[in-house]
Amino acid sequence: MSDDLMSQAAIDDLLNTLHDGSGDGDGEGGGVSVSGGKYRIKLYDFKRQTKFAKDQLRTLQHIHENFQRSITTFFSTQLRYLVNMRIASQDQITYEEYIRSVDNPSLLCVFNLGTLEGKGIFEMNLELAFAVLDRLLGGIGDSKQDKRKLTEIEEAVMAKIMQRVLQELNEAWSSVVPLEPQFSQFESNPSFTQIVPPTDMVLLITFEMSINNVEGIMNLCLPYFSLEPIATKLSATQWYAVQRSEHMEESMEIIDERLRSMNTIMRVELGKSELTYAELLKIQVGDVVKLHSKPNQEVGLYVGDEVKFKGLPGISGKKLAVTVTRVMEGKGRENE
C-alpha cells in the first residue's frame, strides 16, 4: 500500500475524534495522527469571511475603548448619575445578520461617515433611551415605557445627545483619521436602514451600559467597505507610534506651560568694590562706597547665578529700572 494512503487505524482514529468533539472549530482539542503527521480541524464559514486582521482588530478595540470612556464620562455628567459601560463584543458579521438581531421598534441613529464613504448606525436599546429621556426631562431615570417609536419632541432631545456621542466618536478616531461623522436621521424600523447590501460585512461593536438600575446595550455598526481604504492605518505599529507622538507633544506643551508660569528672581549688579573687613565694620549710614563701574557702563542682569542680559540703569516713572541692551548666551557669552 502507498505511504500516501491512510491506514484503517488512522481512519478509525479520525472518526472517533470527530464523534467525541475533540476536533472542534477552535482547533485546540488536539489532532489526530495520519501517516505520522498532525492534523487539526477548524470550521470555516465562507458566508462570514473575516476582513480585518487580528492586528487591526486590536487597534479598533483600543479606539472604541477610548470612545467608551469618553461617552461614559459624558453620560455621567449629563444625567448626574453613575453610569457604567464596557465593550461586550467586537464582531465581523454580515449586515443581514445584524439587522435581524435588532428589535422593531428600536432607536437607530443613522449618520454619515464624513471623510469616509457610506453611513454608519449607532443603535441604543429603547429601555436605555427612555431612561435617558426621563432623566433629561426631570425624572428619576425610569424606563418603564411600552416599546414604541419616539415622539418628535423625544427625537429632538435625543438628536442633541447623539450629536455629542458622534463628536466623541470623532475624537476617538482622530489619531487614525479625522472621521467627522454627521447625524443624518433616526429610524425605528431596522428594515428601513439599508446602509449596505445584506451580504456585505460590517464591524459591530456592542457596548453594555447601566444607568442607575437600568441596563441595556448599544451597538455601533460600521461597514467594512467604508473602513477598507484606511485599513493600513489600523496596524498596531502605526497606532502606538501615533500615540507616542501625541503623548510626547502633550508632555512638551505641559512642560513649556509650567516653565512659563514659574516664578524666578532677577537681580541687577550695579558694580563691585573691594573693602577690607575692618573697613566694612566701620561703614555708617551716609557713607559712600566707590564702585569700579562707570556711570554709562552696562550692568549685568542675573537670572539665578548666571548673567542672561546686559543693560543700562535708569528710572521709569518713580521706579528704578534697567534698559536691556544685549541678550547673553550660555555662561555670560554674548548672543550673536
> What whole-number distance in Å separates Cα of residue 204 and Cα of residue 224?
10
- Classify 80 in phi/psi space as left (phi over 0), alpha (psi -120 to 50) or beta: left
Report the candidate in 108, 124, 122 with the shortest Cα–Cα distance to residue 191: 108
Beta-sheet pairing, 299-303 with 266-269: antiparallel
CATH of 54-243, one of 3.20.20.140, 3.30.70.1900, 3.30.70.1290, 3.40.1550.10: 3.40.1550.10
Q: Are 26 and 42 in contact (CB under 8 A)?
A: yes
**Which set of grid coordinates corresponds to residue 11?**
481512519
* pTM of structure: 0.58
Same fold yes or no, 54-243 and 266-334: no
For 113-168, the pLDDT digits (tens) are 988 989 999 999 888 999 899 888 888 777 677 788 888 999 999 999 999 999 99
**What is the mean pLDDT, run by run of 10 residues, along the chain of 336 residues?**
65 70 46 49 59 81 91 90 90 91 90 91 91 86 79 92 92 86 91 89 92 88 89 68 58 76 81 84 86 82 84 86 84 51
For 175-188, the pLDDT digits (tens) are 888 888 999 999 98
Q: Residue ranges of the domains in the chain?
A: 8-39, 54-243, 266-334
**Which set of grid coordinates corresponds to residue 65?**
475603548
If you classify domain 266-334 with CATH, what class do you get? Answer: mainly beta
Within a 10 A sphere around the Cβ of 36, how many other Cβ atoms?
7
Beta-sheet pairing, 214-223 with 319-329: unpaired
